[in-house]
Structures are given as C-alpha cells and as structure tokens.
Chains A and B, each alone.
Chain A
C-alpha cells in the first residue's frame, strides 16, 4: 500500500475562535423554541398519538382467514422451517374437508422473532403476513408466545384476508371442479 500524506487545512481565525459556530447552533435552537409556540410541538404524544406506518412496515407476523372465515394456514410448516431464529412452532392436525390439514397449535415466540418477514415470503397459502403491530409487551415470557387466537386477532387488523383474495380461491375452485366432475373426494373404506 502506498501512503498518501494528507495536508491539514489551516483553520481561519473565526474558526479557531469557535464562538461563531456556537452562535450558529444556538440560533437553530432558538428558531425551534420560537416555532414550537406556533406549531403543535416536536414530540409525538405516544401512546395517545401513533405513527402512520408505511405499508412495507414489518410488525408482528399474523395469521389471516379467508372471506368465509376458514383458516388459510394448512400447517405445511414451511414458515417454521425457514424462520431463522426458530420462533415458530406448529403442531398440525387432521380436519374434515378438501383441505384435510390445519394447525392445532401455532405459536410464535415474539421474544425470538426478528421481523425478517421470511414466513410471509415462504407461505404457499398466503396465510401469514407481517402486520403493523409493534407494541409487544407482557409481564412474563409465556405471555409473549403468541398463540393461534392472538395471531388471528392481530390478523383481523389486516382486513379479512390480509388484502389478498386470489389465493384463497384455490380451494374453492378445487371443490367446485370436484363436484362438477362428480368426484366424492372424502370417502370411507368402500371404494368399489
């Protein structure tokens, strides 16, 4: 590596005095001081007042249901797999109907979540979204493990279906096609 010798600039007399700079700074302070009298103030009155959050904001991940109130999540566990800090734990269960499977337990440990949004990105059913919820508080660790009901509750703030409607039509379309083709898709032992 070659060295470059940088020559320091000589300070002017005024700069060496430093008083002009202080006065410049104080004048700014004074402008705000006077301005506050006219405007509402520079401090936001949180929590009475809240930020308008941009749409790309990534808050608590939340679960959503479709227009018919059906759980969209099918417990595929891809979000559980992709989640870098392993914040999600899912126990799947079998249900009646075309979808066959849904989460029995769906927990997100908010003490672990890093709000990366990977879960939203990986979800094949568009069932989990990053909400604008950022107030995460509780008095114990257990309280901060958000269960299914809490996650759906937060999901409601996103609108009925998290703002995505097309994906939910997949199962509807399947059921329609099946009935058009006269296929009973959920039957017992008698196959003949």
Chain B
C-alpha cells in the first residue's frame, strides 16, 4: 500500500494505482480528455498536469504511478498555469463552431476553457483547416477540425469493441482520425465513440441537430432492447424521446451500450400508437370509455375461465407480470406463457434474448409459450399483440392490451386496451443476471393510454371487486409477500443501480430456488 498526500489530504491506495485514480478516490478530479476509466492510458492530451514535490516539472497524473510519501498538488499555481498553456495549444486550430456543434453544453473543451482558459487568442495566422462532415458510417459523422486527437475513439473500438478500424493518419498539424481499415465503421457498438469523444468531433447522425443538449430532460432508466438491461440516460424534449446514452453501471454495462439499444426509442413516436380503448360492436372496433372496455374485458375473461389461452409479454415489468399472473390465476386460465424473442447475440453485452424481462417472467412462473394460438377459443394477448400476426378467426373472444396497432388487433380483437412503452411507465425489470433494475418514465403516453400496471390493476379490481393498486411501487411492495425474489424491495430502494436478490440471482443462474 502507498500513502500519498493530495492537496493536503492523505489517501492510501494499492501500488500500481495512477495519481489521477488516487485523486478520484478522494472524490475530487483532475481535468482530462484522453484518459477514460474504461480505456488504456494514452497520455497524449496533457491537460491532467499536476505538480509533484521533488519532481522538476509538472507531470501528467494519468500515467504517473503513485509512490509512498508522494506529495501532489492539483490546484497549485504551477499546475493551473500548465493547464492553461495546454488549453491554449489545443485551441490554436480549434474552430469557433460552438453555435453549430452538438457537443456544446456537454463539451469538456468548453468546460475547461471556462475553468482556466484565456479569453483571447494570441494566434495571428489562419487556422489549419481539415475535413468537416466526414461520414464514418451511417451512424457517425466526424469533424476533423474539432478533433483534439485524444484517440479515445481509436482505443474504444480497438480495446472494447474489438474492431481496430480507426487510426490517426498524416503528420504534425495535419494529423486526423480516419477509417483506416475498411470503408466505414462496422461495429455494433460504434456509437459509444460519440459518447467518449470529449469534444464535438464525433456526432450521431440520429441525434444530430435535433436539439441542444441543455434543453433535454434527462431520465435514468433501463434499455428494453434485450435482457442485459443496460442502464441508460434518456434525453427527451417536446414529449419526444430524442436520444439514449449509456449510464454507468459497473455491474451491468460498465459505460457502454449497443447501437440497436439506442434506437429502441423509435417505437414511442410510431404512427400506429393506440390512444383509446376499443370494443368490437357489430364487427367494427369502436372507441369506448375505459370503464366500458374494462367491464367488457372482465366479462370476457370470466366467461373464458380455464379455456383462456394467455400470452403475457416478457417485455412487461415485474409488477405488471405479477398483476397479469394474479388475473390469470383468478380466472383459472389454462394455457399461459411468454413468447421468446430473438435478438442477435454477441460476447460483449447483447444477450441474444430480446425480452428485457425474461428472467422476471420466469420468476413469476411463466415459461416460453409452446401451444399454437390459432384454434384457441379465448385469447388474452397481454402486451403481445403486435408482432405475430396469427389467424385468430376461430376465437370467440380476443382481449389485447398493447401499445401499437397491428393486423391481429384490427381483424380479431374483441376488446383493445391501449397500453404504453417502457419509456412511459415506472416499474422494474429483472435482467439476465437476476439484477432487478428500475425503469422510469421520460415521456407521456398518447391519448388515454394507461400504463400496463394501471390497466391490469384496474382489470383485476373489476374481477375481484378489490381496490386497484395506486402505483407500481405499491405492487412491488406487496408482491414480496408471495414472491421471495422481490421480498423487501421497493422502487426507491432499488436505487439508480438496481439490486440483486439471492433468489433472483439463483434463478437466473439456473439453480433451484
């Protein structure tokens, strides 16, 4: 162990730790561009300079190993002056692009300029110009003038994504990042380079110019793309989701997420969202009040009894799955299960299971669905009425609770209860490792669509005559009594990083409960 003094505070760390890590251990930070906790040390941006007693010059803290008895000053006049000089060099050829640069507002160059830059330029010559608006792929656009050549993007693709496709070409002030192997970027994780880029050199074509980042409402939630459940920050504005970026969670996705996951928000603004409950009258679906629709649904379920075949989506939250199971138990439904959904698997994050809450469904006692729906007499499609277009013409009663219109709904549904996407509700998902994580709403649902837990709760209340649950949290708190995996949990207690319970983890690992 090495004990060192940083700005007058003592800290003890393992040998091999770098000074910047030791500083961060204290809850402080040193300015940095090229250093990233998830990447190798490059030591090229030089902004993390600190003063170390006994050393003749300022040192870069990202590549300086700690030594016992070391005395480090991160805020001394010498260190600040050194950083100011580095800033001046970095900005010599930097364009005045802030008004048209998407990074503005979350740009480290802006932040550190504000902290210790100078307010003018001493450079009298024309700036060196480089290519702007270079297409690295369909998803990523590059601006060489804004790039500070920190190589975070190069290192991410090489070290984390395993695709060594970017490199620095040319020499001196003509240095620029380019796709050096192949025609364009091919990684399924390439959009992470937009996030790691400390400046606005890499921008996402999807989010480009949609909105300034300071207008975005930022909501921490969980990606519903697959059963990994990467933590995300959802950026929304005008009641529209505009982007998803990964949120750090060392137990799940570290700092990253896959590109497909980022596009899962597109369902939210789909044209075919359902906004009003409907009941089929004389062969046509007509909009009715919630009360009428729920009464019709409850009546149909009651009549069906054990003849009911129910498909419960494993995209629903734990609370919703619990309510759905309670309804099905009450009715005495015979066939029930969830449908498996494929999703390309890889050895990084993508699990291959497109159901974000498959583990939760298993914990509730649901298993993958095996029977054929065609031929069933009474059908309940709970959150699963969109993708499969089966022929349900022989069914006398088809209840659908889902958020989008589909052929199945238009042709066969008897009662339609409009529900919401994962971006519009609160609840929890159990991920592939049995970690229970919180989902938060970022936008409002269209029309009078209801969160699935609310809709199922009211349906259950109609069937039993009890009071409907008032929040997803109250469902989670009460279900612990019968479902040990959720015992003692509440949405608040899950915190931003989620929680693993012994039962849930054991179940996820395939061990007997």
A binds B: yes
Partner of A125, one of B99, B135, B178, B179: B99
A-B contacts counted at CB < 8 A amount to 75
- Asked if residues B100 and A99 are in contact (CB atoms below 8 Å), the reply is yes
Q: Does chain B have a CB within 8 A of A108? A: no
- Asked if residues A81 and B131 are in contact (CB atoms below 8 Å), the reply is no
- Asked if residues B135 and A81 are in contact (CB atoms below 8 Å), the reply is no
Among B136, B178, B209: residue with most chain A CB under 10 A: B209
Q: Does chain B have a CB within 8 A of A131? A: no
Chain B proximity of A20: nearest CB distance (Å): 66
- Asked if residues A75 and B129 are in contact (CB atoms below 8 Å), the reply is no
- Asked if residues A100 and B100 are in contact (CB atoms below 8 Å), the reply is yes
- Asked if residues A81 and B178 are in contact (CB atoms below 8 Å), the reply is no
- Asked if residues A77 and B215 are in contact (CB atoms below 8 Å), the reply is yes
**Bound CA span A76–B137, Å:** 25
Contact with A along B367-388 (1 / 0, CB 8 A): 0000000000000000000000
Task: Choose the segment among A33-41, A113-121, A156-164, A178-186 that binds chain B (4+ C-beta atoms closer than 8 Å).
Answer: A178-186
- Asked if residues A94 and B129 are in contact (CB atoms below 8 Å), the reply is no
Q: Does chain A have a CB within 8 A of B98? A: yes
Partner of A183, one of B100, B129, B184: B129
- Asked if residues B209 and A187 are in contact (CB atoms below 8 Å), the reply is no
Contact with A along B181-213 (1 / 0, CB 8 A): 001100000000000000000000000111110
Residues of the A chain whose Cβ atoms lie less than 8 Å from the Cβ of B137: 189
Residues of the A chain whose Cβ atoms lie less than 8 Å from the Cβ of B169: 192
- Asked if residues B134 and A187 are in contact (CB atoms below 8 Å), the reply is yes
Counting contact residues on chain A (CB < 8 A from B), the size range is 20 to 34
Chain B residue nearest to A177 (CB atoms) is B126
Interface SS majority for chain B: loop
Residues of the A chain whose Cβ atoms lie less than 8 Å from the Cβ of B95: 174
Chain A proximity of B140: nearest CB distance (Å): 11
Please give the number of chain B residues whose Cβ is less than 8 angstroms from any Cβ of chain A in the complex: 31
- Asked if residues B135 and A188 are in contact (CB atoms below 8 Å), the reply is yes
Chain B proximity of A123: nearest CB distance (Å): 9
Residues of the B chain whose Cβ atoms lie less than 8 Å from the Cβ of A76: 98-100, 104, 212
Partner of B130, one of A77, A81, A183, A189: A183
Chain B proximity of A180: nearest CB distance (Å): 8
Task: Give the residues from 144 to 192 in chain A that come closer than 8 angstroms, CB to CB, to chain B.
Answer: 170, 174, 177-178, 180-181, 183-192
- Asked if residues A183 and B127 are in contact (CB atoms below 8 Å), the reply is no
**Bound CA span A80–B169, Å:** 40
Partner of B209, one of A81, A101, A186: A101
Contact with B along A68-98 (1 / 0, CB 8 A): 0000001111101100000000001110001
- Asked if residues A74 and B208 are in contact (CB atoms below 8 Å), the reply is no
The answer to whether residues A94 and B215 also contact, given A76-B99, A190-B183 and a CB cut-off of 8 A, is no
Task: Give the residues from 121 to 154 in chain B that come closer than 8 angstroms, CB to CB, to chain A.
Answer: 126-137
Residues of the A chain whose Cβ atoms lie less than 8 Å from the Cβ of B104: 76
- Asked if residues A81 and B214 are in contact (CB atoms below 8 Å), the reply is yes
- Asked if residues B131 and A185 are in contact (CB atoms below 8 Å), the reply is yes
Residues of the A chain whose Cβ atoms lie less than 8 Å from the Cβ of B136: 189
Partner of A185, one of B132, B135, B183, B210: B132
Chain B proximity of A192: nearest CB distance (Å): 7
**Bound CA span A78–B212, Å:** 9
Residues of the A chain whose Cβ atoms lie less than 8 Å from the Cβ of B184: 189
The answer to whether residues A81 and B215 also contact, given A100-B133, A191-B134 and a CB cut-off of 8 A, is yes
- Asked if residues A187 and B133 are in contact (CB atoms below 8 Å), the reply is yes
- Asked if residues A191 and B209 are in contact (CB atoms below 8 Å), the reply is no
- Asked if residues A192 and B178 are in contact (CB atoms below 8 Å), the reply is yes
Residues of the B chain whose Cβ atoms lie less than 8 Å from the Cβ of A100: 100, 132-133
- Asked if residues B183 and A189 are in contact (CB atoms below 8 Å), the reply is yes
**Bound CA span A124–B99, Å:** 7
Among B96, B132, B179, B210: residue with most chain A CB under 10 A: B132
Q: What are the 5 closest A-B residue pairs judged by CB atoms, nearest first?
A: A76-B99, A183-B129, A101-B100, A185-B132, A178-B129
A–B Cβ pairs within 8 angstroms, 30 of them: A74-B99, A74-B100, A75-B209, A76-B98, A76-B99, A76-B212, A77-B215, A80-B215, A81-B215, A92-B209, A94-B208, A101-B100, A101-B209, A124-B99, A174-B95, A174-B129, A181-B128, A183-B129, A185-B130, A185-B133, A187-B135, A189-B134, A189-B136, A189-B137, A189-B183, A190-B183, A191-B179, A192-B169, A192-B178, A192-B180
Chain A residues close to B by CB (< 8 Å):
74-78, 80-81, 92-94, 98-101, 124-125, 170, 174, 177-178, 180-181, 183-192
